Structures are given as C-alpha cells and as structure tokens.
Amino acid sequence: MRPRHVVVRDIRRTTADLLDALAASGVAATHEAQGRAGLLATDIRPIQTDAVVAGSAVTVLSHPGDNLMVHAAVEVCRPGDVLVVALTAPSTDGMIGDLLATSLRAHGVVGIVTEAGIRDTTTLRAMDFPVWARAVSAQGTVKATPGSVNVPVVCAGQLIEPGDAVVADADGVVRVPRLAVAEVVDAVRERLASEERKRAQLAAGTLGVDMYGLRPLLADLGVVYVDVDADR
C-alpha cells in the first residue's frame, strides 16, 4: 500500500504536441470528443478572460486552509504542467497567492486548477498567470498539515491522475486520461473539421433541422407545426 502521505517525484506526462492540440481545440470540443466525460463542476471559474491552457496534471491533495503540500509540489513540477489542487474537505480559503504563483511559474507551471479559493487575483492577472478556482478569497492559509503530491485525486467531481491532460478555458476545465489523449486528439480534430464545414453552412442560412436531418425526428416525436397558436 502507498504510504499515507506521499510526494511522488516522477510521473509520466502527456507529450507537448498532444497538449498543444488540446489547447487549440478548447474545453467544449475536447469534452465532446471524449464522449462527454471528464468535465469539472461548473462552479470552477477562471479569474481571467478568455485564457486557455493545456498541461500535464501535477496533483495535490491538501488539507483545507493549508498550503504546505502546494509548496511541496513545486519541486516536482516541470515546464508545461498544470497544478491541480484538491481538498480533503470543502473550503473557499485563498490557498494560493502571487508568491506561490511566482514560484510555480519559475518552475514552468502554466496554470492552476483548484476546488479551493485563490487570492492576489489582480497581481495574477497582471502576471498573465491563469487560474481556475471555486472562489476568490483573501483568506490565507497555514503550512501545517500533511497531504500528498501526485496521487490520484477527485477535484470538483472528477478523478484526475498525475500526468493526465487538463484543459481549461473560459468554458471550464476538462480532464483527459493520459492514455486516452492521443485518441481524443484524433477525435477532436475530426470533430473540429466537421464543425468548420457546418459553421459555414449555418452562417449561409442553412437550417440545423435540415443540415442534421431532424425533420423526420420532429415529426416522429409528435411535434406539430402551426401557423398561429390556436390557444391564444
């Protein structure tokens, strides 16, 4: 059995080219392409407008109101990683501020996803350091309680394993299991190409009910077209 509190130094990561492809695709398309799985709870919101990141997850399981293990995690981060911070009990305390963000950036971390709160948000925006969090809170934390780094965690309702791809943009955050990334990238590319064609058609005025062939379905489902509402 794994020791109760552990920092795992070496993890297998998602490769940079695949992460770039996911970042270019965005959260909604990626989520769709992997069968609508892996979306974090929608109350995890960005503190900035329209940033997008994709990185390998370095996971932290932390006591609420305590950022000791976030400090411990910095050492095992590598360029291109996204730090994912999960809690053992709910809390909105601002676990990470500009000092920790400075340290994380110095070690190559490209963004933070957390089910806790975040603080120093003006500075973080000025630094162009993207964060997705459950709350903004000036409430700082102690450094006193053990936890783990790079173990599987549940963050905002989704299982995230170290090295998994995490994609985050204005629409939220999605996890792609490391071993599924290549397959998902293929699927999302196909999807985006198809969407591009559809977008052109729709922009030209084609109706979705025609483009997707939905008229028979509507008829089957008993949807009736009338010119004016007889009830009014």
- 146 near its own copies, rule: CB under 8 A: yes
- 81 near its own copies, rule: CB under 8 A: no
Whole-number Å distance between alpha carbons of 188 and 28: 10
The residue within the footprint of its own copies, chosen from 15, 24, 78, 137 (CB under 8 A), is 137
Q: Which is nearer to its own copies, 193 or 208 (CB)?
A: 208
- 216 near its own copies, rule: CB under 8 A: no
Whole-number Å distance between alpha carbons of 30 and 26: 6
The answer to whether the Cα torsion of 69, 176, 192, 115 is positive or negative is: negative
| Stretch 94-133: interaction string toward its own copies, x if CB under 8 A | x--xxxx-xx-xxx---------x-xxxx--x--------
The residue within the footprint of its own copies, chosen from 16, 79, 157, 186 (CB under 8 A), is 157
| Stretch 14-53: interaction string toward its own copies, x if CB under 8 A | ------------xxx--xx--xxx-x-xx--x---xx-x-
Where does 131-197 show beta strands of DSSP type E?
Answer: 131-133, 135-136, 148-149, 153-155, 158-160, 165-169, 172-176
CB of 105 to its own copies, least distance (A): 8
Residues in the chain: 232
Q: Which is nearer to its own copies, 75 or 190 (CB)?
A: 75
CB of 17 to its own copies, least distance (A): 22
Report 183-212 residues binding its own copies (CB under 8 A).
195, 198-199, 202-209, 212
Q: How far apart, in Å, do the first and last CA atoms of the chain sit?
A: 69
Backbone angles phi, psi at 81, to 5 degrees: -80, 155
Report 51-70 residues binding its own copies (CB under 8 A).
52, 63-65, 68-69
Indicate the burial class of 71 (C-beta count within 10 angstroms; 0-12, 13-18, 19 or more).
middle
Name which of 145, 167, 54 is nearest 95 in CA terms.
145
